[in-house]
Amino acid sequence: MQIKFGTDGWRAIIAQDFTTDNVARVAFATAQWVKSISTQPSITIGHDCRFGGPLFVETTIKVLCEQGVKVYAHKGICSTPMISLGCVKLNTTAGVVITASHNPPTYNGFKLKSNFGGPSTPAEIATVEALIPEQTTIPTTSLEEWMTKGLLEYVDLETLYFNHVEASFDMTAIRNSGMVFGYDAMYGAGQKITRRLLPKNLVYLHCEENPGFHGQAPEPLHKNLLEFSEVIKNSTDIEFGFANDGDADRIGCYDNEGNFIDSHHIILLLIHYLHQYKGMTGKVAISFTVSDKVKKLCDAYHLPCEVTAVGFKYICEIMINEDVLVGGEESGGIAVKGHIPERDGVWMALVLMEFMAKTKKTIKELIQEVYNIVGTFDYDRYDLHISEEIKQKVIANCKTDVYKNFGKYTIERKEDIDGWKYFLPDGAWTMIRASGTEPVLRVYGQAKDRASVIELLDTVKATLLA
C-alpha cells in the first residue's frame, strides 16, 4: 500500500493499515531522511496514550538504530509538544511522535518533527514519503542491545518540559492566585504534566490512561466535552476550565459557567494579553478557518496579520523565519512567542491562567475587553459525515460558483485560500472544506450570537445536502 501523510502526519486504522510492518517502512524512510541531512543523525521519540503506542515506538526505534540513527526515547506517555521541545533541548535532527492526535480511538499515527521544535515542513514530508520502501524488515536486535551499543538512550521529556514551564511562567502567581481551574485530559497525554504543574489548583476529569478514550475521539470540541461543561456548571469554585486532545497540542476552554470558549476567542485573548499587557510585538499568523475578528484586533494594535492554508505546518514555516507573536488554527492548535514554534494546549492554558492571575479578572471579563475592540460574535462548526459522492458534488459546486446564496443569506464575496469561505451580511461568514485528516466535510460559521450561528449552519447544511 502507498503511505501518504495528511495535514499533520500519517494516520491510519490500527491493525488495518497502521501495522508494525508499515510503521517500519515509514521509520526506514525517516532514517534515510535524517541521514541525508546530518552526519550525526538523531531522533527524539515518544508516544501518547493510544493503543499500541509502546509497540510502535519499539518498532521505530529498532529500525532507526539498525540504520545508525541515535535515538532519545521517553518511557511512558508524553505529549507532542514534549517531543518538539526535546528536539530543541537535545538538539536532535528530528522527532517522531506515535499519535493520531484527535482522531477516533481506532486510529494511530506517525508525526514528524523538525530540529527547530515544530512540525516538519511540507518539503521534508514529501522527501520522507518518496523514500518509503514497498517493504522492509523489522530488526530483531533488542532495545537493551541498542542501549549497550550507545544508539538508544532514555530521557525524561516530562521533567524537561516541567522545568521549561517553571522558567517561563510566573507559576507562583498562578498557584497562589486562589483560583481553582478545571481540566479534562480526555484520557490524553496532557494528564500527568498538568497535574504535576498544578497539584492543588486543579479539579480534573478523565485523567487516567484509557487507550480507547472511552470510545470517543479525543478532540476538545464542546460536543465531546459535555460532561466537563456540566462539572463546571455545577461547581461553585472552578473559574476557568480547559481540555486537551489526545496528544495535548490542542486546547478547548470554558468560562466559570461552563460556556465553551472556542479557539478564535483564545487567539484573541492571547494577542490581547501578550501585546496590550506584556508589550510584546510580532506578526500574527492564522489559518484560513480562523475568524476575521483576529484581523480586526491586529489592525487595532497595528500588528501584521497573515492568513495561511489549513495545517499548522504552514504557520510553523512563518514562525521559524519571522518574528511571530501568535500563530493559531481554528481547531485549537496555537503557538506563542517565547516558546517553540509548535501547538501546545497546556502552554496556552498556562498563558491564560497567568493572565487571570496577574489581572485578578475572570475570563469573561477579559473576553469583554476584546469584545470592546472587535465586537461580539459566536462561532461553531458542523462535521458532515457524508458519502464521498455527495462530498465531491459539494466541492465541485464550490469550485464552479453554483452557490449564489444560502437560503436567506446572500453571498457578498468569496475567498478560496484553502476551502471556500463565503462572507455574508452583518459580519457573518460560512466556510466549506474537506478535512485533511478525516473522511468528513466541515462547515464553519460565524454570526452575532449563538442562535444566529446555529440558524446559519442549519441553512448551509440544508443547501449543501439538497
For 334-364, write each residue's pLDDT tens digit: 999 999 999 999 999 999 999 999 999 999 9
Quickly count helices (H) and strands (E) in the chain: 16, 22
Q: Which residues pair with 421 in a beta bridge?
A: 415, 431
Chain Cα centroid distance, residue 111: 12
At 95-106, the pLDDT tens digits run 999 999 999 999
Last residue of a domain, one of 374, 393, 419: 374
Mean of pLDDT values over 167-173: 97
CB atoms < 10 A from the CB of 48, how many?
A: 31
Same-domain pairing of 130 and 185:
no
C-alpha cell at 4: 501518504
Does residue 3 lie within any of the structural domains?
Answer: no
Question: What gap in Å lies between CA 20 and CA 32, rounded to an integer?
Answer: 18
Does 82 share its domain with 150?
yes
Residue pLDDT, tens place only, 397-423: 999 999 999 999 999 999 999 999 999
pLDDT at 8: 78
- Does residue 439 carry a pLDDT above 80? no
Do 139 and 279 share a domain, yes or no? no
Domain assignment present for residue 20? The answer is yes
Are residues 117 and 238 both part of a single domain?
no
Which band of pLDDT confidence, cut at 50, 70 and 90, is reported for residue 437? Answer: low
Same-domain status, 354 and 430? no
Q: Give residue 325's pLDDT band: very low, low, confident or very high (50, 70, 90).
A: very high
pLDDT of residue 107: 96
Residue 254 has pLDDT above 80, yes or no: yes
Number of domains in the chain: 3
Q: Are residues 192 and 256 in the same domain?
A: yes
The answer to whether residue 164 sits within a structural domain is no
Please, what is the average pLDDT of the chain? 96
The parent domain of residue 423 ranges over: 378-465
Q: Is the dihedral of CA 397, 403, 407, 409 positive or negative?
A: positive
Residues 270 and 400 in one domain: no
Last-in-domain residue among 374, 397, 412: 374
The answer as to whether 163 is a domain residue is: no
Q: How buried is 387 (Cβ within 10 angstroms: 0-12 exposed, 13-18 middle, 19+ buried)? A: exposed
Structural domain contains residue 4? no
- Residue 51 is classified by DSSP as T
Domain-embedded: residue 102: yes
Q: Whole-model pTM above 0.85?
A: yes
- Assign residue 401 the CATH number of its domain: 3.30.310.50
Residues, the chain: 466
Q: Are residues 326 and 460 in the same domain?
A: no
Among 135, 158, 181, the domain boundary falls at 158
Give me the pLDDT at residue 436, please. 67
Element (H, E) at 413: strand 413-415
For residue 26, tell me if it sits in a domain. yes
Same domain as 366, residue 229: yes
Q: Indicate whether 153 pLDDT > 80.
A: yes
Strands 180-184 and 420-423, by their bridges, are unpaired
Return the CATH number at 186.
Answer: 3.40.120.10
Residues 259 and 350 in one domain: yes
The answer to whether position 331 is within a domain reads yes
Spatial separation of the C-alpha atoms in residues 32 and 18, rounded to whole Å: 21
By DSSP bridging, strand 70-77 and strand 152-154 are parallel
H or E segment and range at residue 183: strand 180-184
Confidence of residue 6 (pLDDT cuts 50, 70, 90): confident
Residues 181, 43 share a domain:
no
How many C-alpha atoms does 209 have within 13 Å on its Cβ side?
A: 11
Does residue 326 share a domain with residue 251?
A: yes
